[in-house]
C-alpha cells in the first residue's frame, strides 16, 4: 500500500514538472552586447550603482525569470526565490504599438489585470514582474502569485521579500482586446 502511494506521488511529481514556456503575448527582443540596444526597450528602474535598468527576462534552471538589464555592460541580473545570478544574453521587453506599460501598486500576490508575465516556472506557474525600492536602487524582482511576495536579490546583497510592491501591467490602448 505504501509502495503504491509512493509510485503515485512520483508520477504526480514528474507530471507537474513541465518545461517552462516563454510569454508570447508581449514583444520581446533577444539581446546581448553585440546587438544594438533597442531604442524602444522599456526602462524599469535603476540599480545600486545608478545604472538604468531595462526590463528583460532570462531562462534559468527551467524557469523564466524577470531580469534587470544594464545597457552599458550588457549584463542581465536576475533572481529566483533562493538565489541571484546574471547572464550576458537575454530578451528585452520592447514597446508595443497597442499597449501602455505601467507599474501599479499591489500587494500579497493579488493578480492585477493585464499583469505582464515573463513566462512560466518549472511548475507551470506564470511568473510576473514586480519592483520595489531597496538597496539604494529601484529594482525589478520576481513575483510568484502563490508565494504572495515580490522577491528581489541583487548580486551579493541580501534576499529581500516585499508584501507591498509594484507590478508591471500592459494596458491595451483604446479598446484593443487581447
Ligand atoms: C551575441 O549573440 C550572437 C548570436 O548568437 C553571437 O554571435 C555573439 O558572439 C554574442 N555576443 C556576445 C557579446 O555574447
Ligand atoms: C485607437 O484606435 C484607433 C482605431 O482602432 C486607431 O486607429 C488608433 O491608432 C488607436 N490609438 C492609439 C493611441 O492606439
Ligand 1 centre and the CA of 88: distance in Å?
A: 9
Beta carbon of 133 within 6 Å of any ligand 2 atom: no
Residue 97: predicted pLDDT: 83
The answer to the question of residue 4 being in a domain is no
Instruction: Pick the closest to residue 145 from 106, 177, 101, 95 (CA basis).
Output: 106
Query: What nine digits make up the cell of 81?
Result: 526565490
| Closest residue to atom 8 of ligand 2, CA basis | 174
Please write the tens of the pLDDT for every residue from 110-147: 999 999 999 999 999 999 999 999 999 999 999 999 99
Please write the tens of the pLDDT for every residue from 53-112: 999 999 999 999 999 999 999 999 999 999 999 999 999 999 988 899 999 999 999 999
Give the structural domain span for 35. 19-172
In ligand 1, the atom with minimum distance to the C-alpha of 33 is: 13
The answer to the question of residue 114 being in a domain is yes
Ligand lying nearest the CA atom of residue 34: 1
Alpha helices (H) along 17-106:
none
The answer to the question of residue 78 being in a domain is yes
The answer to the question of residue 3 being in a domain is no
The answer to the question of residue 86 being in a domain is yes
The answer to the question of residue 11 being in a domain is no
The answer to the question of residue 9 being in a domain is no
What's this model's pTM, rounded to 2 decimal places? Answer: 0.84
**How does DSSP classify residue 146?**
G
Residue 60 near residue 120, CB atoms below 8 Å: no
Report the number of distinct structural domains present in the chain: 1
Amino acid at each position: 500500500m505504501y509502495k503504491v502511494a509512493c509510485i503515485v506521488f512520483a508520477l504526480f511529481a514528474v507530471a507537474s514538472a513541465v518545461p517552462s514556456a516563454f510569454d508570447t503575448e508581449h514583444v520581446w527582443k533577444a539581446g546581448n552586447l553585440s546587438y544594438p540596444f533597442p531604442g524602444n526597450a522599456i526602462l524599469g528602474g535603476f540599480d545600486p550603482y545608478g545604472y538604468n535598468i531595462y526590463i528583460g527576462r532570462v531562462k534559468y534552471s527551467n524557469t523564466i525569470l524577470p531580469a534587470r538589464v544594464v545597457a552599458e555592460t550588457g549584463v542581465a541580473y536576475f533572481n529566483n526565490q533562493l538565489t541571484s545570478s546574471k547572464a550576458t544574453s537575454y530578451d528585452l521587453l520592447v514597446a508595443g504599438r497597442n499597449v501602455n506599460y505601467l507599474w501599479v501598486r499591489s500587494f500579497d500576490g493579488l493578480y492585477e489585470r493585464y499583469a505582464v508575465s515573463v513566462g512560466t516556472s518549472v511548475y507551470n506557474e506564470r511568473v510576473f514582474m514586480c519592483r520595489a525600492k531597496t538597496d539604494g536602487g529601484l529594482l525589478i524582482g520576481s513575483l510568484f502569485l502563490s508565494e504572495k511576495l515580490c522577491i528581489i536579490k541583487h548580486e551579493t546583497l541580501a534576499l529581500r521579500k516585499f508584501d507591498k510592491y509594484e507590478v508591471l501591467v500592459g494596458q491595451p490602448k483604446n479598446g484593443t482586446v487581447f
